[in-house]
Each structure stands twice: as C-alpha cells, then as structure tokens.
C-alpha cells in the first residue's frame, strides 16, 4: 500500500508526460473539433466579467459557445489539487547539478513543491510586484500573439502551422532573456 | 454546431435533448482538463524550478517533454484526420489555421515569453498551481486578466 502511494506521488519522466500532453490535441478534436489552447480562457473571463458598455470589441462575442474551454480550465484546477495536494511529491524536483547551482545563485533554495517559498512570500512587496508584472505580460502577450504554450507550441506545431513556429521561437527567446537577465536582476532588487 | 435542423430519418430515434447532451459534453472537457492538470504537475511542467532549468538549457527534461508532446500530437492528429473518423458530435475533423502574418507573433510572443520567464508560469500552470494551493497565483491570474483586457483595449492601435 505504501509502495503504491510512493508510486503515485513520484513525478513522471518526460517520455511519459510528453506523449500524454500531445494526445490532448486529437482528443479535443475528436470530442468536438475543439482547438487545444488555454490562454483563450483569459479572454472568455474578460468577456464574462466586463459590463457590456465598457467592453472593447475584442470581447464582444458569444462566450457561451466557449464554455467547454472554461470547463477545461476548471479541470486544470481540480487536476492541480489531485496531483499537487493529494498526491504531492514529497521530494524536491530532481534537477540537474547545474540547475540546482543556478537556482541557488538566484538566492532560492531547492525544496519540495512546485513554486519556491521565496516567490510565494506575501510579506515581501517585491514578490507581489514580480507576480503582477509577470501576469500582466502573460495576459497581454498571449492575446497579442494569439496563444500560449498549448495553443502554439503544442497544437500549432503539431499541425505544422508557420505562425505558431514564429510565436514559439519568439516566446522562447523572451523566456531565455527574462530568466537569465531580468529575473536575477529583479531578485537582487527585491531582496 | 447545434444549429443543424434535426432531419427525419426513418428508423432513427429523435436525438436526446440538446441541453442534456451539452451537459454531458461539458463534463467530458472537465475530465480532460483534470487529467491534463495531473499531467502538468506529475511531469513537472508546472514546476518553477523546471522552467528555470529549461530557460538556462541545464537539463533535457522540458525539451524532451515538449518535443515528445509535439511529435505525439503531430502523428496522432494526422492519423485522426486521415482516418476520416467524425468527431463525437458528427462533424468532420478540421483544424482552424492560425492567421497569417508575423508581427503579432513576434511581438506578442516576446511579451508572453518575458512574463513566462519571470514568474515561471504559462497560462495552464496558473490554473493548475491554484488548485495545488499556490495562492500567489491569484495575483498572476488577476494581472493576466488585466493584461488581456489591455490588449483588447489597444488591439486596433497595435501592429499585427
């Protein structure tokens, strides 16, 4: 019994997780011709929340037809609870030696969990700023670019779409820049 | 989708009421989301540590994960389309093409990427981490909504 629990709590190698992520594309197509993409939900949420007269045209559409995606997002929350709380991995992620070193250089300790305590510290106003700026850019950039990792990197590349390749290369370039230059700078300032 | 008039085909029973069908249909998406959320956590794609490691090219893990996801999606989607199987609700399977162009993909992609590297979360993990009890993600979600609204407000003034 404990062995089974240990098994359920342990993380999966990439070659198990990757194919399961990829299968989401044909699965959603088969279920109802749905394009797999998560960031559209942010648009749907705005379309629901904004009062009609204050709505830019971008949010004037029939969001009710996209309820399936909001259900998908609700499922993501539930999945996070099942895997991240009920079956949480008690060990820290098994990073490479180089990865551990870089993270410690950022002033962050590698502990069990998905997000380090240093970045979840509500007592530090700098952390709030980091999370807010990050969220703002993610929300703005995904709609401007028409998708995120799921819509472009997974769905778009898997269906051989040129625009998705441009978007994927661009958001990796942005991520490399910010993880290597902006984040260290940010963390030095807010600490 | 549900607008096609119900044809009277001899021997075929009337379709079940559409609201019942939508409800069970929506439940299916909840379940797919649930399993996808589990995969995001178990494969550590929702881990801040793994994202940092990826952007510094210090491990193969995330590249193997995304690479094998794309490859699997490519092969299985091509097979599904070639097989001529209809979707569960009887439609021909089709993939909507992304709009042509490059500006929005470069500028939007870069913006999203910078945000992704900062807090280490893309939209999927924002939801999944909330479920995992990482409350600071509420701040990220709130500001992501604000960012989405800002795009909607500025859309016509941005190069696309």
Nearest residue to B112 (alpha-carbon basis) of A173, A2, A123, A3: A173
**DSSP letters spanning B113-155:** HHHHHHHS--HHHHHHHHHTT-TTHHHHHHHHHHHHHHHHHHG
Give phi and psi for A69, each to the nearest 5: -75, -35
pLDDT for res A54 = 87
Mutate which of B19, B49, B56, B150 to disrupt the A interface (most A C-beta within 10 Å)? B49
Domains of chain B: total: 1
pLDDT digits (tens, 9 = 90+) for B1-59: 444 444 444 444 444 445 666 777 899 999 999 999 999 999 999 999 999 999 999 99
User: How far is A163 from B98, CA to CA, in rounded Å?
Assistant: 7
A141 and A80 within one domain? no
Last residue of some domain: A87, A102, A133?
A87
Average pLDDT of chain B, as a whole number: 89
Give residue A1's pLDDT band: very low, low, confident or very high (50, 70, 90). confident
pLDDT for res A190 = 83
Give phi and psi for A140, each to the nearest 5: -65, -50
**Counting beta carbons within 10 angstroms of the beta carbon of residue B107, is it exposed (0 to 12), middle (13 to 18) or buried (19 or more)?**
middle
* B chain contacts of residue A120, beta-carbon cutoff 8 Å: 134-136
A100 lies in a domain? no
Average pLDDT of chain A, as a whole number: 95
- The tokens of B13 are what? 């029973």
A3 and A70 within one domain? yes
Taking residues B65-73, report their average pLDDT.
98
B67 lies in a domain? no
Q: Does A152 touch chain B (CB under 8 A)?
A: yes
- Give Cα B29 distance to the centre of its chain: 11
B3 lies in a domain? no
> Cβ contact (<8 Å) for A45 and B148?
yes
Mutate which of B18, B55, B64, B73 to disrupt the A interface (most A C-beta within 10 Å)? B73
**Which ipTM was obtained for this model?**
0.96
pLDDT digits (tens, 9 = 90+) for B27-42: 999 999 999 999 999 9
Task: State the greatest distance between any 2 C-alpha atoms of chain A, in Å, as a whole number.
Answer: 58
Length of chain B: 160
Mutate which of A52, A57, A76, A102 to disrupt the B interface (most B C-beta within 10 Å)? A76
B4 lies in a domain? no
- CA distance to partner chain B, nearest, from residue A101 (Å): 10
Taking residues B82-89, report their average pLDDT.
91
A97 lies in a domain? no
pLDDT for res B3 = 43
Last residue of some domain: A67, A87, A107?
A87
Percent of chain B surpassing pLDDT 70: 86
Q: Does A189 touch chain B (CB under 8 A)?
A: no
Q: Does A99 touch chain B (CB under 8 A)?
A: yes
**What is the torsion angle, in degrees rounded to the nearest 10, for the CA atoms of residue A142, residue A145, residue A147 and residue A150?**
-100
pLDDT digits (tens, 9 = 90+) for A33-59: 999 999 999 999 999 999 998 899 999
Last residue of some domain: A87, A110, A138?
A87
Q: 16-45 in B: which are within 8 Å (CB) of A?
A: 25-45
């Amino acid at each position: 019994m404990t062995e089974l629990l240990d098994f359920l709590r342990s993380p999966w190698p990439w070659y198990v997780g990757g194919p399961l992520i990829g299968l989401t594309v044909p699965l959603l197509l088969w279920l109802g011709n749905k394009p797999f993409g998560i960031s559209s939900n942010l648009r749907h949420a705005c379309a629901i929340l904004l009062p009609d007269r204050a709505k830019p045209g971008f949010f004037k559409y029939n969001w009710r037809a996209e309820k399936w995606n909001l259900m998908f997002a609700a499922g993501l929350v539930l999945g996070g609870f099942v895997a991240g709380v009920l079956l949480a991995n008690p060990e820290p992620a098994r990073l490479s030696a180089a990865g551990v070193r870089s993270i410690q250089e950022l002033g962050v300790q590698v502990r069990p969990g998905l997000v380090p305590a240093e970045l979840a510290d509500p007592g530090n106003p700098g952390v709030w700023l980091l999370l807010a700026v990050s969220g703002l850019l993610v929300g703005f950039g995904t709609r401007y670019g028409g998708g995120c990792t799921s819509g472009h990197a997974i769905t778009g590349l898997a269906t051989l779409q040129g625009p998705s390749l441009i978007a994927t290369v661009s958001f990796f370039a942005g991520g490399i820049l910010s993880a290597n230059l902006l984040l260290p700078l940010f963390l030095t300032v807010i600490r | 989708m549900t607008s096609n008039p119900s044809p009277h085909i001899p021997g075929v029973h009337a379709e079940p009421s559409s609201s019942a069908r939508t409800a069970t249909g929506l439940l299916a998406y909840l379940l797919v989301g649930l399993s996808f959320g589990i995969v995001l956590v178990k494969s550590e794609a929702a881990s801040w540590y793994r994202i940092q490691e990826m952007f510094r090219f210090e491990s193969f893990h995330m590249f193997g994960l995304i690479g094998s996801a794309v490859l699997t999606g490519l092969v299985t989607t091509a097979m599904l389309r070639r097989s001529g199987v209809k979707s569960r609700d009887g439609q021909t399977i089709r993939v909507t093409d992304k709009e042509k162009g490059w500006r929005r993909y470069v500028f939007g992609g870069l913006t999203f990427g910078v945000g992704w590297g900062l807090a280490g979360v893309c939209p999927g993990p924002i939801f999944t981490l909330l479920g995992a009890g990482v409350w600071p993600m509420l701040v990220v979600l709130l500001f992501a909504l604000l960012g989405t609204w800002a795009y909607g407000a500025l859309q016509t003034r941005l190069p696309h």
